Structure 1
Amino acid sequence: MQITSFEQYQEVYQQSVNEPEQFWGSIAENFVWKKKWDNVLSWNFTEPNIKWFEGAKLNITENCLDRHLLTDGDKPAIIWEPNSPEDDSVTLTYKMLHEQVCRFANVLKRNGAQKGDRICIYMPMVPELAIAVLACARIGAVHSVVFGGFSAKSIADRINDAACKLVITADGAYRGNKQIPLKDVIDDALIGCSTVEKCIVLTHVRTPVSMLKGRDVWWEDEVKHVNNVCEAEEMDAEDLLFILYTSGSTGKPKGVVHTCGGYMVYAGYTFSNVFNYQPGEVYFCTADIGWITGHSYIVYGPLSQGATSLIFEGIPTFPTPSRFWDIVEKHKVNTLYTAPTAIRSLMGFGDEPLVGKDLSSIRVLGSVGEPINEEAWHWFDEKIGHQKAPIVDTWWQTETGGIMISPIATVTPTKPSFATLPLPGIQPILVDENGNEIEGNGVNGNLCIKFPWPGMLRTTYGDHERCKLTYFSTYENLYFTGDGCLRDEDGYYRITGRVDDVLNVSGHRIGTAEVENAINMHAGVVESAVVGYPHDVKGQGIYAFVIFPAMHGDVELTKKDILQTVTRVIGAIAKPDKVLFVSGLPKTRSGKIMRRILRKIAEGDISNLGDISTLLDPNVVQEIIERASEKK
């Protein structure tokens, strides 16, 4: 299953394009199935309707846990590194993890969960988060993990959209020197959630919380009432495995749906190959399980391959900027997979945090979440990998389920800030605005995929039409990624950023409409427009242009009020970095806001704003430019 040379990659890639069904069928043979498939693939992108491994029966947790017990039962499955280095790390072997997953699966059943029920998980980065995810999959319940930084309103929206029956949370979480009151946030969210019957609460930070009789139960109490034997529920390959909400170009987050069989095969195959994972190695992905990276490359991908997955609660700079390097040294980490935002942030501290740190165990480095800039790539290569560890700059999305375009470690020749080449089975295509294919090398276009792959989304939960409109209707018979892309003279791909109204802030996708809706909820705001601009650490920052006619008193205080509103509605991750009060916005005569002009102003590039004479009020542009320059 593993590719070991560039010649082999070219051969395997060609085979995967020529005979995709045969190719993926042979990959799927490496997994455990209760019943094999009748048909590898049936598809059309018009509906869209995609089915992989039709008729097959499986349970993904048998592939992640049970099949390793005989040979690797005592091998570490998860190593947990806590927020504070003074606290002890925890290691769970495959046998221990299997027992805890089965026990908690029985807790879920005891609290009324059944196959097909949706369960919302809002937890800190602790081993119990992975246990909760796997326990849902064990009984055939559909998990919807919500990142621990979202607000009560954002959680309520997600719970209501999926009609979740249970919530799993904790009293709180640690994030550097802060405590996040998770249970309090859940309590606020559940005021408007009529479908939730039970809330299971893990003790973690030992802070007082309110427990509602009949609804709230303690994790620690519940596990005492059950044993650790739980047969894995038989699932169809196309049964739902999880829903993960992602921002779109409209205000309402959309629930991306992944199913059991194809997702398992794709996450496992890509993990094994991209990172060139070797038995016994320690693999450290610094992401949160609340994002797709955590689903695919902390939980399902590594565990399906019998890997040792290191998880971390905390931030890279607490208690010191050498936190990552201490973890690498302590656990002899072989693969480090992190985000450009983290890399740029750590670069800012210079070489001091690296002095005396033994990073010699690192064999592979990885980057995820957004394109990595050249300066950060070289720093990562020289200071962390000592120019001996290949960097896999991975491009993929929540919707793709797994890595799509990336070097294969030790196999693909790398190039700074290029995602390089598609993985086997992935058929990218560049198109112009009209959907015509742009052939050859040394070209730019919109990135689409022309053939299905097993890890792709099947629908958006409860709204298939939205899935069709967002991904499959822009260009006929193609999956549209929403990203612009350059293909250079060597055929290497470089992602150039979003071409729709979605921002990529610290690797988190945030819809401009979602932020605008939140700003507009503030009592004094008439209208707002949000765009991205280059940010030294985050990659993209959020710049908000706000019409607030009744402004009186303290301007800075009003800005803080608006930021607080966004934090309450979405979460702190969506707070604008800059807020500029304006009297109007550049609009076409039909009322459409010209974000292109605002983007240029935010970037400080007013040399080429194009023809503004056709705007409803061209004078507005000059006023915004003047206010923006004053603000600097």
Structure 2
Amino acid sequence: MTEQHREIDVLLDEKRTFEPPAAFAEAAHVADRGPYDEAARDREGYWEAWARQLDWFQPWREVLEWNPPFSKWFVGGALNAAHNCLDRHLEARGSALALLWEGEPGDRRTYTYRELHEEVCRFANALRGLGVGKGDRVAIYLPMIPEAAIAMLACARIGAPHSVVFGGFSPQSLRDRIEDAGARCVITADGGYRRGAIIPLKASTDAAIEGLDYVSSVVVVCRSAATDPEAAPYGDAVETPSCDMIEGRDHRYHDLIADASPECPAERMDAEDLLFILYTSGTTGKPKGVMHSTGGYMTQVTATTKWVFDLGEDDIYWCTADVGWVTGHSYIVYGPLSNGATVLMYEGSPDWPDRGRFWTLCESYGVTVFYTAPTAIRAFMRWGDHWPAGYDLSKLRLLGTVGEPINPEAWIWYHENIGGTRCPIVDTWWQTETGGIMITPLPGAITTKPGTATVPFPGIEAAILNEEGNPAESGYLAITSPWPGMLRGVWGDEERYRETYWSKWPGIYFPGDGARVDEDGYYWIMGRVDDVLNVAGHRIGTMEVESALVDHTAVAEAAVVGRSDEIKGQAVAAFVSVVEGVRTSEELRQELRAHVVTKIGAIARPADLIFAAELPKTRSGKIMRRLLRDVAEGRALGDTTTLADPAVVRSLQRQFAGSES
């Protein structure tokens, strides 16, 4: 055991707590428990006060209309998300930096609020010129480049709900989302960069929309400038992306905006008008199109961004997420820009061209607030303390984590090696469905403990319940009252919305996580209790992966479970039986793993794939995934009395123990 590990054990044994640094608390937006008391006295009035900090074209007549499980916030009010992110800052902060961007090859761009406003208006007008109007869905399939944020804001400006699809998803996954949303326009790029390689996004888009006649236009951002050796010091060995353009359907982004007007009035949107659809994994094979409206969502992300990250005008804020996930929506685009912040965006890997890339960025841009995932932190730990130690990280003043529960050891390492013991850590729990942060410390007011997200944000009411819906110290996490940023439903499937989130207890939202509460009232999130895996902060449905596997002609049956992984949190473990006459081999194993990548994307690639003559089943024919989890974790088997053939699972144990996949 290393000396550092011994120190960590002592800290955890002592139940070490961390008070907000005195200097930080003195200057923080929130330095006491006052907001919690205020929200408890009048929850609707509390959220109404936050809503008043936005610009509204028309005031609301009612704060909340609650007909479980459906809510409406700021009923009758009208506003626009892009206006609140851009226009309202022009007078006071028009010349202030809004976006700082660096591509993986090292190319850089910056936008002031005035410049970003102009670019968004130009592209909004270009979209209107392509026939996109209020209510039309637009799919966005871009790498982490400024045009991703610009496209989102341009859609919001004209009232066209966007559906952003993570650039790592396969053409089939993209097609599924385009089809479900009925998107008539797709915005993509010729390519993106990842670890020095090109991701051919336009080619994937062409494959995804083949035969979809209702997709009338494709806008392509060309990246050719990104490989200029002088502008891109890490990209001189990367070939320029190229793509085929289909006349009449495809349009180059820069050609479209060249002659477009820099003025575009923002569409008046009802508070409950749809702002975006974002697809997330569920316990069935089909991803859910989570819907978020405008007024409540903007209120919650504005509030949480300001207080959780204690943002001020001098901060350089960097959230390392991708805009393809909800974290990128809420805490790269809408929340920070609504607060007039300066946001850093980076395209690419944290280990390219070396493992100091993140710290190079922090040092060169003077990052003050840094928000990343526990998966990344565990990777930094594995790479060694010497990487961050070689850079000047002294301007960092606040650290955050998102995506999954953080283990205490990683929390302590983050505190020591990145924050230099001076930076508060905000460990945040929330979901695609919640829209914004739900459980988190406020950095000037709350004493933190390694491994816990602490307490609900003011105005959020949560509880730990047992199966019967009664309060418990350990059980299921529940949200017991409506909140402004809550999802408004599942696109095209009201029954799935009811069944997935509201059927466990009447009128209470069940997020699908287990949790416990300690003697101080702090919430410890224990992870998923359903069949959704959390792999490196990305939610992947086991049914999605199983469906992808059985889609292969060699596969008769498949079962997928999660197992613990020291870097990713969870890894995908697949158990596969093949059709009669097919011979198993290492080549077939790799082919099936690649097939999952083709169907879903690289994030779903099974870390382990075990061939089984049979899968363990009950006498009634149900696959016993509980026992497969025991196998994948190397645990002693639980109750096997209902197994039809106990020898099956013993065979899998032997295979898994000897597997090198």
| Distance in structure 2 (CA, Å) of the matches to 1:38 and 1:212 | 49
Q: Please, which of 435, 438, 441 is the counterpart of residue 401 of structure 1?
A: 435
| CA displacement at 1:351 relative to structure 2 | 2.2
Q: Please, which of 613, 634, 649 is the counterpart of residue 583 of structure 1?
A: 613
User: What letter is aligned with 2:659?
Assistant: K
Q: Which segments of 5 or more consecutive residues in structure 1 lack a partner in the other structure?
A: none
Q: Please, which of 111, 128, 135 is the counterpart of residue 147 of structure 2?
A: 128
1:388 aligns with 2:414: no
| Distance in structure 2 (CA, Å) of the matches to 1:296 and 1:304 | 10
> What are the superposed Cα offsets for residues 442-462 of structure 1, whole Å, 9 maximum, x if unpaired?
x21100101011011000111
> What are the superposed Cα offsets for residues 367-388 of structure 1, whole Å, 9 maximum, x if unpaired?
0111111121111100000100
1:257-406 matched pairs, under 5 angstroms:
257-406=291-440
| CA displacement at 1:366 relative to structure 2 | 0.5
Over the matched positions of the two proteins, sequence identity in percent amounts to 51
User: What letter is aligned with 2:642?
Assistant: T
Match of 2:101 in 1: 80
> What are the superposed Cα offsets for residues 225-264 of structure 1, whole Å, 9 maximum, x if unpaired?
3111100000000000000000000000010000000000
Match of 2:526 in 1: 496
| CA displacement at 1:522 relative to structure 2 | 1.1
User: What letter is aligned with 1:526?
Assistant: A
**1:156, 1:192 within 8 Å by CA — same for their partners in 2?**
no
1:559-570 matched pairs, under 5 angstroms:
559-570=589-600
| CA displacement at 1:596 relative to structure 2 | 1.2
Match of 1:474 in 2: 504
SS at match of 2:284: coil
Q: Please, which of 72, 77, 102 is the counterpart of residue 56 of structure 1?
A: 77
**1:6, 1:412 within 8 Å by CA — same for their partners in 2?**
no
| CA displacement at 1:3 relative to structure 2 | 11
**2:185, 2:217 within 8 Å by CA — same for their partners in 1?**
yes
1:448 aligns with 2:478: yes
> What are the superposed Cα offsets for residues 263-304 of structure 1, whole Å, 9 maximum, x if unpaired?
000000000000111222100000000100000000000000
1:41 aligns with 2:64: yes
Q: Please, which of 168, 171, 175 is the counterpart of residue 156 of structure 1?
A: 175
SS at match of 1:284: strand
User: What letter is aligned with 2:634?
Assistant: G
| Distance in structure 1 (CA, Å) of the matches to 2:446 and 2:213 | 51
| Distance in structure 1 (CA, Å) of the matches to 2:260 and 2:50 | 37
| CA displacement at 1:554 relative to structure 2 | 6.2
The RMSD of aligned alpha carbons is 1.6
TM-score, structure 1 as length reference? 0.96
Match of 1:622 in 2: 650
**1:3, 1:9 within 8 Å by CA — same for their partners in 2?**
no
**2:198, 2:241 within 8 Å by CA — same for their partners in 1?**
no
| CA displacement at 1:436 relative to structure 2 | 2.3
**2:31, 2:444 within 8 Å by CA — same for their partners in 1?**
no
| CA displacement at 1:435 relative to structure 2 | 2.3
User: What letter is aligned with 2:248?
Assistant: G
SS at match of 1:84: coil
Would the alpha carbon gap of residues 350 and 102 (structure 1) be closer, same or farther in structure 2, given more than 3 Å must change? same
Would the alpha carbon gap of residues 132 and 7 (structure 1) be closer, same or farther in structure 2, given more than 3 Å must change? closer
Match of 1:609 in 2: 638
| Distance in structure 1 (CA, Å) of the matches to 2:606 and 2:350 | 22
| Distance in structure 2 (CA, Å) of the matches to 1:15 and 1:276 | 19
SS at match of 2:243: coil
How many residue pairs match? The answer is 621
| Distance in structure 2 (CA, Å) of the matches to 1:74 and 1:473 | 50
| CA displacement at 1:60 relative to structure 2 | 1.1
Match of 1:240 in 2: 274
Match of 1:11 in 2: 34
User: What letter is aligned with 2:121?
Assistant: C
1:26 aligns with 2:49: yes
Would the alpha carbon gap of residues 234 and 163 (structure 1) be closer, same or farther in structure 2, given more than 3 Å must change? same
TM-score, structure 2 as length reference? 0.92
| Distance in structure 2 (CA, Å) of the matches to 1:4 and 1:371 | 28
> What are the superposed Cα offsets for residues 312-359 of structure 1, whole Å, 9 maximum, x if unpaired?
001111111110111011011000000111111121111222243100
**2:378, 2:566 within 8 Å by CA — same for their partners in 1?**
yes
Match of 2:235 in 1: none
Match of 1:165 in 2: 184
Match of 2:201 in 1: 182
> What are the superposed Cα offsets for residues 194-246 of structure 1, whole Å, 9 maximum, x if unpaired?
32100011101442211111111111111123111100000000000000000
**1:41, 1:51 within 8 Å by CA — same for their partners in 2?**
yes
1:112 aligns with 2:112: no
| Distance in structure 2 (CA, Å) of the matches to 1:148 and 1:9 | 41
User: What letter is aligned with 2:435?
Assistant: G
